[in-house]
Structure 1
Amino acid sequence: MTFTDPPRQVAWRHKDLREGFEVVFIEPRWTVEGATAAIEDGDGFAVQYAIDLSPEWVTRSARVASFGRELHLLADGDGAWHIDGGPAPHLDGIFDVDLESSAFTNAFPVHRLALAVGESAEAPAAWVRFSSLTVERLEQRYTRLPDDAAGRARFDYWSPDLQCELVYDACGLVLDYPGIATRAA
């Protein structure tokens, strides 16, 4: 599966689980900057992030900040990670960062894996919780489904806490993340 180049700016409306917006700016040299501001369980939050990707959509580094707190992740591209300068062996073998506050980061494994219809792959991620800026290993699996009637790519997404169908646009960016977000622009 081949996706077209992403636009320079995209946005999602977060709904159901949280109410708010995420806006992402994509630089031509594989740097992504974004922010999410939302309300979840009656509490407001804001998260800013900058992620550097390889041309193969493998995470190289990520900086995540929220209200004076900041977290730095560095990946070597071969599955080894550092968090704030120290080794993070619990993330060994991971190629993607996944931000709890972001719909955008679900594009990384879809691009990187380039699954054909019917193929499935494990895609564990370095999952950053927005409330604590802690990083956990999140087991995930993506299974490529046939395109929908409009020709949009569909994937069955599985993690220990969630299973749903994700629909992507021609750029490989999620359009509908059930119960979490829909593409706004």
Structure 2
Amino acid sequence: MYFHAVEEGYRIDGHTAAVENGQPWVVQYTILVDARWATRRASVTGHWFTGTRKIDIEADGHGRWHIDGAYASALDGCLDVDLESSSMTNALPARRLALRIGDQASAPAAYVRALDLSVDRLEQRYVRVTDEDGGQRYDYSAPAFDFGCRLVYDTAGLPLHYPGIAIRAF
């Protein structure tokens, strides 16, 4: 993953690879967020043994989304993109919300699946818990998957630990 400031906010370039249900995949992505950390654009390319697919996602920063140019009303109100294939994208709402310890917020996201790049709305909740070792910690939940865990970020707000999914190696 490569992260840097650009004129309109920040740009994140990355890729991930895995085997899911016996199917290997690679997902490459570029995400642009504005100065408030709301997603403005994402370009996502998936590579599978069956082929390659690319999608382009655009958001107005106020909750209206387009996927490959088509308006996606199901995503109305979302300010974040969440790639199933990347722990980095959970850092976007954590950073944008800037919750104080004990605060909580809902952060629905445009959720992009790794195996086919389909996009759905994903309801998510973040609860800021006590910091530890200088890093921020959040209790995260996604009820649609009956999933919850504690996410840990470094002092810059980048992911250190996403239980069962990712651990920063350096």
- The two structures have a TM-score, normalised by structure 2, of 0.91
Matches within 5 A, 1:26-175: 26-29=3-6, 30-67=10-47, 68-148=52-132, 150-160=133-143, 161=145, 162-175=147-160
* Structure-2 residue corresponding to 1:178: 163
Q: How far is 1:169 from its partner?
A: 0.5
SS of aligned partner of 1:101 = coil
Q: Structure 1: which 4+ aligned runs deviate by more than 3 Å?
A: none
Whole-angstrom distance in 2 between the partners of 1:96 and 1:152: 22
SS of aligned partner of 1:147 = strand
SS of aligned partner of 2:94 = helix
Q: How far is 1:42 from its partner?
A: 2.8
Q: How far is 1:40 from its partner?
A: 2.4
Whole-angstrom distance in 2 between the partners of 1:132 and 1:44: 12
Q: How far is 1:43 from its partner?
A: 2.1
Q: 1:27 corresponds to which letter in structure 2? A: H
Q: Which runs of 5+ in 1 are unaligned?
A: 1-23
Q: Per residue, is there more strand in 1 or in 2?
A: 2
- 8 Å CA contact 2:46–2:116 kept in 1: the answer is no
- 8 Å CA contact 2:150–2:162 kept in 1: the answer is yes
In the comparison of the two structures, how many residue pairs are matched?
A: 161
Q: How far is 1:151 from its partner?
A: 2.7
Q: CA RMSD in A?
A: 1.0
Q: Which of the pair has the greater relative contact order for Cα pairs under 8 Å at 6+ separation? A: 1
Q: 2:43 corresponds to which letter in structure 1? A: R
- The two structures have a TM-score, normalised by structure 1, of 0.84
* Structure-2 residue corresponding to 1:13: none
* Structure-2 residue corresponding to 1:3: none
Q: 2:79 corresponds to which letter in structure 1? A: F
Q: 1:93 corresponds to which letter in structure 2? A: G
SS of aligned partner of 1:146 = strand
Q: Indicate yes or no: 2:5 matched with 1:25.
A: no
SS of aligned partner of 2:131 = coil
CA displacement 1:8-31 (0-9 Å, x = unmatched): xxxxxxxxxxxxxxxx11132111
